[in-house]
Structure 1
Amino acid sequence: MKKILLPALVVAGLSLLPIISHAQGCVAIRQFSGLGNAVGQGNILEKGEWNISANYRYFKSFRHFRGTHEEPNRIEDGTEVINRQHGLDINISYAFSERVYGIVSLPFQYNDRSSLYENGWTERHTTYSMGFGDMRLGAGYWLLSGEKAKKGNTAIGLGVKFPTGDYAATSTFYNQGDEGMAEVKTVDQSIQLGDGGTGIILDFQGLWNIGSTNFWYYDGFYLLNPRETNGTPTNRRRPNEAIMSVPDQFALRTGVFRSFEKIHGLGVSMGVRLEGIPVRDLVGGSQGFRRPGYIISVEPGISYMKGNVTGTLNVPIALWRNRTQSVTDIENSQAGDTVHGDAAFADYLISFSLAWRIPKKAPQLFNSL
């Protein structure tokens, strides 16, 4: 069992790299992933071993939803907002023991947003943001060890998200004001590099053999952001939406992974995932502007391991999208008509990862002369 299980765990562990990136559209502030999913091969690292991984993600959001109702007229009329987001996470994990690991995640982003309404409704222009995102630092603990972990294991993790990303990034907007001048303003919340809050990350991940070379995997995280607002102007008209919120975020994945004995190192997976932003935070207030909602996707993937290096490609495809009513939507609805903001979602996301497991070097033995 060990000869079959360990190589499969290596490949399967790499399929659990940080592809929970948020959230395929302007529901999320920016792309984000939980710490546990960046561990990669951390599930079988021995004491003193390292794992270094790079995860690239891309999506294009353009389909507008209000609740679960899509508004196809936005595309037909040419008034849709188009977000293109590129994210690169550099993840470094270290095994302090068979069961305890630490990890640091360094995120980099390039985002652009093409919009008509933000440029006076006369011409479509693009705004940009680029740079370092919100760094994450944390640790995890595998619940089983030794013989008990031969069939699988589950890890729980705790981390901190630091507000290292620019949460007041600016770009040039055109046709502003009565004179139609160009002005430098803060970009939309969806392409800000950070949220301005120090957050607590609770996460978990697990992998279990369910027969032959088939494995059940699961992972998820919840980001608690106690800070209510970050002081960054949204350039929106309603007073209660003038400043950006610092919302919680969450994600959950599960599925089946299969490795192939005849093609050593090859594995495929199929799963589902849920990700989004809640209407109200678990800790702290929920005022300010946010686009809450969630997306459910089917997630096929393929991975290949060669030696200590593994590449993984996952392409989550959207099945269900819902832009829920925000706190400010609910407040603004009390004055009369129902207010329900929209959000743009992507059809799919591309996630590609490379991971390098660095085994612990054996001690050198010298014969005495």
Structure 2
Amino acid sequence: MTKNKRQIWLAAAFVVAAVAGREGLAQGCVAAHSNQRSMDELVRAWDGGTKYGWSIHNLTVDVGYRFFNSNKYFVGDREIARPNAVRNHQNIFDVGVEYRFTPQWSFIADIPVFDGTRNQIYPPVGVFQVSGVGDITLGAQRWIFRPPTEFGGDVAVSASVKIPTGINNATGSALYKGQTVKATADQSMQPGDGGWGLVLGAQGYKSLWHKADLYGQAQYLFNPRDTNGVVTFRSQPGQSVMSVTDQYLYRAGISQGLPKLRGVALSLGARGEGVPVRDLIGDSNGFRRPGSVISIDPGLMVNVRRTTLSVNGPWALRRDRPPSVPEIKYHTTNGDAFFADYTVIIGLSHHF
């Protein structure tokens, strides 16, 4: 590797580490719907030890699915036993499109679809069911080095605009002060957040030994808007309307191709995701549930010609629900959140 390429590689790796090094935040009642992009570079067929890349003018469609049940009650990083738990069941689908028009440049788009139910045991009491298209993102991705590379690795960076196409004021029938009313569904149940945003991402891999790779992936959603005006029915000071929150996701680990099984790899890594206490741009008023989940992230990837199936099962190691900005400002009781023990993530990617 030349000196210039080494410097570019190190700089790109630093981008991944810098984004991934931020505190990862959560799943469950925490409204983080970030989706991980496919990394089928890890299991594409080997030809003489060198992975081949797809040709230009190639269309790739990724279909992702994530589901979990959150019923573990946390205040801060302490789990508290509770006989009547909120059960928040979520199904999050994501349709991703990538069109590569040069070996390094691609157009990318993501369309999330949300479906969830929540039995709420505190006012307003009720069972909420919400389905709908979420906030669509459109952007571009660039691989730093022209594939295939001599050193068996590469890093891609991306930028996308988040369009507020999702519903952010879904309601349900609930019991409030002895009467049945139309109440706003919990923030975690809303497919959209009501704000324009910017998503910056990076992903990369580096060959280590025979059919083994180091991989990393990170993305951060910047939401400059403060609040979206949607009423929450909450009585705590400063929490009467919903906040428009930043979100982020990171994951890193090692992938190992299985001997004598072409296109099959196992992976093991760490994963974090969620919502920060304060946004990086703009104010952070209104109601939000900041929170963090850091998980161990085992996975399986299978590649057959132009199709790749991936399955991940992140298992939570640490969960935390820190106080939000209004809770800090008004010195109110630290809020709570319900988290899941594990998540199942399934992805199917096909190159046309």
* TM-score in same-fold range (> 0.5): yes
Q: How does 1:145-156 map to 2 (within 5 A)?
A: 145-146=146-147, 148-156=149-157
**Where does residue 49 of structure 2 map in the other structure?**
none
Distance change (3 Å), C-alpha of 1:22 and 1:132: farther
**Which residue, out of 243, 264, 273, partners 2:271?**
273
1:325 and 1:239 map into 2 onto residues whose CA distance is 13
Which whole-Å deviations, capped at 9, do the CAs of 1:341-366 have from their partners, x for residues lacking one? 011111000011111112xxxxxxxx
Residue 171 of structure 2 contacts residue 185 of structure 2 at CA under 8 Å; is this kept in 1? Answer: yes
User: Per the alignment, in what secondary structure is the counterpart of residue 117 of structure 1?
Assistant: coil
Which whole-Å deviations, capped at 9, do the CAs of 1:255-303 have from their partners, x for residues lacking one? 0001124012211100001112111111111100101121100000112
User: Per the alignment, in what secondary structure is the counterpart of residue 45 of structure 1?
Assistant: coil
User: Per the alignment, in what secondary structure is the counterpart of residue 330 of structure 2?
Assistant: helix
1:58 and 1:82 map into 2 onto residues whose CA distance is 13
Q: Match for 1:94: what amino acid?
A: Y
Task: Using structure 2 for the length normalisation, give the TM-score.
Answer: 0.87
Q: Is residue 352 of structure 1 aligned with residue 350 of structure 2?
A: no
**Where does residue 18 of structure 1 map in the other structure?**
none
Q: Match for 1:84: what amino acid?
A: H
> Which structure 2 segments of 5+ residues have no match?
1-23, 45-51
User: Per the alignment, in what secondary structure is the counterpart of residue 118 of structure 1?
Assistant: coil
| Percentage of pairs with the same residue | 36
2:147 and 2:273 map into 1 onto residues whose CA distance is 33
State the Cα distance separating 1:131 from its structure 2 match: 0.9
State the Cα distance separating 1:82 from its structure 2 match: 1.0
Residue 311 of structure 1 contacts residue 353 of structure 1 at CA under 8 Å; is this kept in 2? Answer: yes
> Which structure 1 segments of 5+ residues have no match?
1-20, 359-369
Residue 151 of structure 1 contacts residue 208 of structure 1 at CA under 8 Å; is this kept in 2? Answer: yes
User: Per the alignment, in what secondary structure is the counterpart of residue 283 of structure 1?
Assistant: coil
Residue 39 of structure 1 contacts residue 91 of structure 1 at CA under 8 Å; is this kept in 2? Answer: no
When Rg is computed on C-alpha atoms for both structures, the one with the higher figure is 1
Q: Is residue 60 of structure 1 aligned with residue 65 of structure 2?
A: no
**Where does residue 361 of structure 1 map in the other structure?**
none
Q: How does 1:1-369 map to 2 (within 5 A)?
A: 23-28=26-31, 30-33=32-35, 37-38=37-38, 44-72=53-81, 74=82, 77-78=83-84, 80-120=85-125, 125-146=126-147, 148-174=149-175, 176-177=176-177, 180-333=178-331, 339-358=333-352
Residue 22 of structure 1 contacts residue 31 of structure 1 at CA under 8 Å; is this kept in 2? Answer: no
Q: Match for 2:28: what amino acid?
A: G
Which whole-Å deviations, capped at 9, do the CAs of 1:62-120 have from their partners, x for residues lacking one? 11111111111x1xx22x21100001111110111111111111111111101211345
Distance change (3 Å), C-alpha of 1:182 and 1:68: same
Q: Match for 1:233: what amino acid?
A: V
State the Cα distance separating 1:309 from its structure 2 match: 1.2
**Where does residue 14 of structure 2 map in the other structure?**
none
User: Per the alignment, in what secondary structure is the counterpart of residue 190 of structure 1?
Assistant: helix
User: Per the alignment, in what secondary structure is the counterpart of residue 238 of structure 2?
Assistant: helix
State the Cα distance separating 1:192 from its structure 2 match: 0.6
Q: Match for 2:215: what amino acid?
A: Y
2:29 and 2:53 map into 1 onto residues whose CA distance is 36
User: Per the alignment, in what secondary structure is the counterpart of residue 330 of structure 1?
Assistant: helix
Distance change (3 Å), C-alpha of 1:196 and 1:22: farther
Task: Using structure 1 for the length normalisation, give the TM-score.
Answer: 0.83
2:147 and 2:71 map into 1 onto residues whose CA distance is 49
Which whole-Å deviations, capped at 9, do the CAs of 1:309-328 have from their partners, x for residues lacking one? 11111000000001011101
State the Cα distance separating 1:220 from its structure 2 match: 0.3
Kindly indicate which of the two structures has a greater share of residues assigned to helix: 1
1:161 and 1:208 map into 2 onto residues whose CA distance is 30
Q: Match for 1:236: what amino acid?
A: R
